[in-house]
Structure 1
Amino acid sequence: MTGGNDHYLTRGDIAVTAVAGRFPESPSPLALWRSLLAGGELIRDYPARRLPDGRLFSPAAGECYVPRGAFLDDTDAFDYGFFHITPREAVRMDPQQRIFLEVCHAALESGGYGRGSDAGIASVFAGSRKSGWEPYLPAAADATDAMLALGGNCPDALASRTAYKLNCTGPAVSVATFCSGSLVAVHLACQSLLAGESDLAIAGGACIRFPSHQGYVYHRGGILSVSGRVRAFDQTADGTLFADSVAVIVLRRLEDAQGAGEPILAVIKGSAVNNDGARRAGYSAPAVDGQASVIQRAWDRAGITADRIGMIEAHGTGTAIGDAIELRSLLRVFAPAAARACALGSLKTNLGHADCASGITGLIKVILAVQQGIIPPTLNCSRPVDGLTGAHSPFYLPRAACQWDAADAPRIAGVSSFGIGGTNAHVVVAQPPAYAAGDAGKEPVHLFPLSARGPGTLRLLAENLRTYLLAHPRSSADDVAYTLQRGRYALPVRRIVLARDVPGLLCGLTQAGAVIVASDGPVDEAYLDMATAWQRGREADWSRFYTGERRLRLPLPTYPFDRGRLGGDMNGPAV
């Protein structure tokens, strides 16, 4: 498994083979990453409103309206037909469940597994909370409607419904540990893989809040920010701001991912979960001992020391007490061996606090950082709190995106997430192993199958694939064909291109027809017969093309859902 520059990899490491998600102002992880590198703050301004009973806000009474928020768009849209869900059921599902289902499917396809079926036993671990959606449910006409509403709005159903719709037969566990839920889900997924319960695991979280697209009420002495900005670890920090996020990652045992030629974005080398117990001032108060302990335990499991950590994605909520305790815990574990500077950041300064999905969202930031070798800037910290910077501190605050040059050492980062109630989680992430190319194919022509539920979606899928190939001109035709054949679920409306190489595929994608021959030479009748049979709805034995040859699954564009509007006013009453 190891060799060359991959000496840091060990048996027991977990590969991250795909990420997917939707975020405020960012419909994908790549869009989020671009915003982070640009130092973007993804929080909108909203017009001022009155209180629900018509009263004006009273600053003298310690309350005011803060016209700021970070929400997902199009939460009333869902491709329910794709998942064989009726409109009657779909309209009664919490948008958290709807969007989580779409994001999980996208993640599987991005990793090269259309429904997870050929990866062995697939599992789902996910965290969510009550969204506030229930007041906008249509009235139940009968017992069936009432049951649909119950199953569609209970956080307990998030993982099991996903497992049902995506045919995941391993553990399906919904996690409820408040803010740390999604990172706890990642830890549980890793443990399930290591124990042999799962061969593939989806882990993540969903947080969508209603009423949507409006500001919030600030109360003096509460945790919300009166300024509408999260200033983690800054002396002027005045609280946090809640945000929407739905995000997941796909995990595999490293040796399995390498053997199957799957994309590996990063490696999880260790994780840990604990609880503060009674060692804190109150039930909702954090504790230094618990946080320091969970970080150290994760590092010990990963077999690393503090001097090898180049980046910490902190919980960093922007609350004075919470940040102070977190900094004390970090300084405790770094103090013995912090030989080099470590970047400290918090995605909440860009996005706000995504509650039970905050841990997975921060983890995706770190996965992309160790993969790309770039550390995004930390926002809103012009006056760092005492002890954060200086000659005796192991930390620095990146003011702009900077290259992460680890020389001969691998890029390694830690991600923390702490929940109300004291359940803490920490995950150690390392850069991916060196890329290993697939074998050169011996086939005179390749079959590139595309399918969708409707002709419009099929056209969009072809356009998205063409855009990807133009941006990645060195993609292997063998690997593109392999990914489309083995990593996508075959749907009713089908189109297939026969071509020798990627330029031929690009040409074929612009042509009309169901079976397109984009080859400059004769095509064997056996290939044409197989392509025609598949296009007409038959199953194909793609394995005949890959006997004794290694192929790679590429992160090609995923299915473009045809998301119909379900209707309803989800913005709720004026605040």
Structure 2
Amino acid sequence: MSEIRAEDIAIVGMACRVPGAADTTALWRNLFTGLDPIRGYSDDELRAAGVDESTMDNAALVRHFGHLAGVAEFDAEFFGYSAEEAARVDPQHRLLLQTAWSAFEDAGLDPASCPDTGVFASVAPSWYEHYRLAGAWPGAGVAGTATDHVATRVSYALGLTGPSLAVQSSCSSSLVAVCLAAQSLADFRCDLALAGGAAVPYPARLSTQDGLVSLSGRCRAFDADADGSVFGSGVGAVVLKRLGEAIEDGDRVHAVIRGWAVNNDGGERSDYRSPSGTGQAAVVLEALRAAEVGADTVDYVETHGSGTLIGDALEVDALERAFRLAGGDGCLLGSVKAAIGHLDVASGVVGLIKSALVARHGTVPATPHHQRPNPHIGFATNGFSVNTSPVTLPARTTPRRTGVSSFGLGGTNAHVVLEQPPEDHRAPATSSHHLLTLSARTPQALAEAAARLRDHLEREPGQPLADIAFTLALGRRAWPWRRIEVVTDHAEAIAALSGPAVTTGQSPDRPRPLTLLREPLDEDEATRISTDLAASEPAFRAALAASEHSAPTARLQDSLARTLASWGIAPTAEPDDPIALVLGPGSDVSKAIPAVSTEQPRQALLTAVGRLWVQGVAPTWPRIFAPDRHRRASLPTYPFERARHWAEGVPALPD
């Protein structure tokens, strides 16, 4: 890792839903397996989607589309919408709301814990709103449904108070949003930033002679048979933070945004719709100079790559010019559009996610549909190439770097330079037992959350349980339905999550008060428990040293009480129906009452804390988990309980 600069920005959270993939893990897998999510539609399906007969009879109608399953579905109750209100909201807004929440959870953050967050977001023009208004839907014209309102809708729903801007520059919108978010962080205008975009394009597209839309229904980037893009629905969002603070806070860094630039082609082009190689070369060069790196250190560029013969040739020529001026002689090129379709305003942020994954993993997936090189591109001499099978990037003495470009109709260009995440040198937490906390709005969602975590643990056997427990406690909102498991390793956690919960329940609206009961305890046992807890719990060790008691039992109980108080678990007045925490063996205490037993002191202590949390007590988690010894982990995000919310009379493609 090169020296951390003040302007370096970390990508700490990523989330997306694209054709064929419900999340970033599935997207990355699909790019290597070659799954083709572009599907053709029958005449009846297109009619049901609102395509009129005159368009159906047009030979230039493109009958293929990158379809996103569940576009009509939304977890309305999660975001506080009634069914009627949810149906009024453009599905692009709804997609971005849910994906923004998932991006925060991927970052191990509850939006409520970081209100000073800026939001920079974009959605495509709404054909849904057009149909809804035409159908005289009750409440038509309600404020907050236009493209202008997408960022502020997210800020309102998540309680975010930083700058909130809708970004509209056509296809480059969401990558421009990323650049604006990074600049806002670099200028200390906010402490965290969310950037993203969502698009649900109208399915009826006509191929044109200029090759912008592919009649063949495939995007063949950089190929001799390229005839344009096939469009699709999708959404992506990233959470950004200043790199130095992300490292200090133990955040998981997906990749580092090292440099960025935005410009416009201006008027020196043949017409408004035409791109300019001069403008594209300038934006790449500016981003490289902002990153303070040579182009010779960049191994891969995720291109705009829209699959037009002239557009692709112009883009590679611009890259060649920029790289030469920045000391480089080419690199690998790719385009996610070839795999999932052109996602309109969301394409830039999804390209960023792919490029970040390449920087992190050091492997480049193949670009689909590339068979014969575009004859207008000088691949034989310019040093650039398109890989048709997966490639492992070579080891370097410098950090691994990638780029991503996005160009919008109208000439607004954006380029971002990425760098692999820094190595984590912190000493791992050493604990014998780990408290896993799960919560959800409903018992059904809680069961699904447990199943998702179990499957994740099976896929990621090397992920430290201490980091998982830390992230679940500090990085997730505590919903009413709760479950805990205290485990020692992955196998035990998988087994526990595969069966019924031992400790689960619905926390009360108001937490019951807490009282501490001191039970008699053998002095030898008290000494053993004290020794065990002092070895594993710094707070208990400090409390034990400060205890004025000489008898082991009294010392143990006083130190436990002080430890719990430092964790935000302190007794209150003696009400009629308190929760009792027994500072002793607790062998004759009801199972509903937590107790610190003599068998496994740390396990018993964590179980007690967990059971209190289930019953509504709010521990001060940062004092229980030492932040300097833990790192936020990327874990499954909230299992939204989606239901169909769609305005009457608005057509839709079938799932």
> Structure 1-normalised TM-score?
0.90
| Correspondences of 1:170-569 after superposition (within 5 Å) | 170-211=162-203, 216-221=205-210, 223-336=212-325, 341-386=330-375, 388-441=377-430, 445-509=433-497, 510-515=499-504, 521-522=600-601, 527-547=606-626, 549-567=628-646, 568=648
Question: Aligned-pair RMSD on alpha carbons?
Answer: 2.6
> SS state of the match for residue 137, structure 1?
helix
Query: Where does residue 130 of structure 1 map in the other structure?
Result: 125
| Correspondences of 1:97-136 after superposition (within 5 Å) | 97-115=93-111, 117-119=112-114, 121-136=116-131
Residues 56-91 of structure 1, C-alpha deviation per residue, up to 9 Å, x if partnerless? Answer: 8667xxx43332111211111111111111212111
Query: Alpha carbons of 1:294 and 1:463: their partners in 2 closer, same or farther (altered >3 Å)?
Result: same
> SS state of the match for residue 350, structure 1?
helix
Residues 256-297 of structure 1, C-alpha deviation per residue, up to 9 Å, x if partnerless? Answer: 111111111111100000111111111111112111111100
Range 445-454 or range 551-560, more displaced: 445-454
1:168 aligns with 2:165: no
What is the CA distance between 1:253 and its match in structure 2? 0.6
Query: Alpha carbons of 1:390 and 1:504: their partners in 2 closer, same or farther (altered >3 Å)?
Result: closer
Query: Alpha carbons of 1:15 and 1:132: their partners in 2 closer, same or farther (altered >3 Å)?
Result: same
Query: Alpha carbons of 1:132 and 1:538: their partners in 2 closer, same or farther (altered >3 Å)?
Result: same
Asked if the contact 1:207/1:246 (under 8 Å) is kept, the reply is yes
Structure showing greater relative contact order (alpha-carbon pairs closer than 8 Å, 6 or more residues apart) = 1
Asked if the contact 2:435/2:607 (under 8 Å) is kept, the reply is no
Residues 101-159 of structure 1, C-alpha deviation per residue, up to 9 Å, x if partnerless? Answer: 111101101110022x33462111111121311244385576xx2353x412x011111
Asked if the contact 1:39/1:400 (under 8 Å) is kept, the reply is no
> SS state of the match for residue 98, structure 2?
helix
Query: Alpha carbons of 1:54 and 1:83: their partners in 2 closer, same or farther (altered >3 Å)?
Result: closer
Query: Alpha carbons of 1:53 and 1:528: their partners in 2 closer, same or farther (altered >3 Å)?
Result: closer
Cα distance in 1 for partners of 2:4, 2:378 equals: 32
Cα distance in 2 for partners of 1:129, 1:53 equals: 22
Range 446-455 or range 395-404, more displaced: 446-455
Cα distance in 1 for partners of 2:316, 2:481 equals: 55
Structure 1 or 2, whichever has the larger Rg, is 2
Query: Where does residue 78 of structure 1 map in the other structure?
Result: 74
> SS state of the match for residue 369, structure 1?
helix
Asked if the contact 1:91/1:137 (under 8 Å) is kept, the reply is no
Which amino acid in structure 2 is aligned with residue 539 of structure 1?
Answer: A
Query: Alpha carbons of 1:8 and 1:402: their partners in 2 closer, same or farther (altered >3 Å)?
Result: farther
Which amino acid in structure 2 is aligned with residue 34 of structure 1?
Answer: R
Report which of the two has the higher share of helix. Answer: 2
Query: Where does residue 541 of structure 2 map in the other structure?
Result: none
Which amino acid in structure 1 is aligned with residue 200 of structure 2?
Answer: I
Query: Where does residue 521 of structure 2 map in the other structure?
Result: none
Asked if the contact 2:487/2:493 (under 8 Å) is kept, the reply is yes
Range 382-391 or range 545-554, more displaced: 382-391
Cα distance in 1 for partners of 2:341, 2:435 equals: 45
Query: Alpha carbons of 1:58 and 1:44: their partners in 2 closer, same or farther (altered >3 Å)?
Result: closer
Asked if the contact 2:320/2:330 (under 8 Å) is kept, the reply is no
What is the CA distance between 1:553 and its match in structure 2? 0.7
Query: Where does residue 28 of structure 1 map in the other structure?
Result: 23
Cα distance in 1 for partners of 2:334, 2:626 equals: 47
Asked if the contact 1:57/1:64 (under 8 Å) is kept, the reply is no
What is the CA distance between 1:55 and its match in structure 2? 4.8
Q: In percent, how many aligned pairs have the same letter?
A: 38
> SS state of the match for residue 69, structure 1?
strand
Query: Alpha carbons of 1:378 and 1:458: their partners in 2 closer, same or farther (altered >3 Å)?
Result: same
Aligned mate of 1:151, from 122, 125, 144: 144
Query: Alpha carbons of 1:295 and 1:572: their partners in 2 closer, same or farther (altered >3 Å)?
Result: same
Query: Alpha carbons of 1:553 and 1:459: their partners in 2 closer, same or farther (altered >3 Å)?
Result: same
Query: Where does residue 3 of structure 1 map in the other structure?
Result: none
> SS state of the match for residue 178, structure 1?
coil
Residues 136-187 of structure 1, C-alpha deviation per residue, up to 9 Å, x if partnerless? Answer: 4385576xx2353x412x0111111111111111011110111110000000
> SS state of the match for residue 281, structure 2?
helix
